[in-house]
């Protein structure tokens, strides 16, 4: 049976982000449970905040489509969300 694929990322892209550090730690722990982990940064998928009018005018941003495909290729997603 192939390993479960888990996508891990932080909801913050700020440098020195605690969420980013926690996401990296979680990725290591998940890998120890024999899962296949993909750790990404949302900074690599720059896109505007969702706007339905903009989507009608220009379509779905390319990076949004790339991120959606990446999520779909995994059985689970772990998001480290910042608390403000």
The residue among 26, 37, 33 whose CA lies nearest residue 76 is: 37
Q: How many CB atoms lie within 10 A of CB 65?
A: 13
Tell me what the mean pLDDT of segment 4-10 comes to.
Answer: 98
13 phi/psi in degrees, rounded to 5: -115, 10
pLDDT, one tens digit per residue, over 37-50 is: 999 999 999 999 99
**How many distinct structural domains can be found in the chain?**
1
Tell me what the mean pLDDT of segment 14-24 comes to.
Answer: 95
Range of the domain at 31: 5-80
Q: What is the CATH number of the domain that holds 64?
A: 3.40.50.360
CA–CA–CA angle 13, 42, 32 (5° rounding) = 95
Q: How confident is the model at residue 82 (pLDDT cuts 50, 70, 90)?
A: confident
Entry pTM: 0.90
pLDDT, one tens digit per residue, over 20-79 is: 999 999 999 999 999 999 999 999 999 999 999 999 999 999 999 999 999 999 999 999
């Amino acid at each position: 049976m192939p390993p479960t694929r888990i996508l891990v990322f932080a909801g913050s892209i700020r440098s020195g982000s605690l969420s980013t550090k926690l996401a990296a730690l979680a990725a290591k722990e998940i890998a120890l449970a024999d899962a296949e982990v993909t750790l990404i940064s949302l900074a690599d998928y720059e896109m505007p905040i969702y706007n339905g009018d903009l989507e009608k005018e220009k379509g779905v941003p390319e990076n949004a489509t790339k991120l959606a495909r990446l999520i779909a290729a995994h059985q689970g997603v772990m998001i480290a969300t910042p608390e403000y």
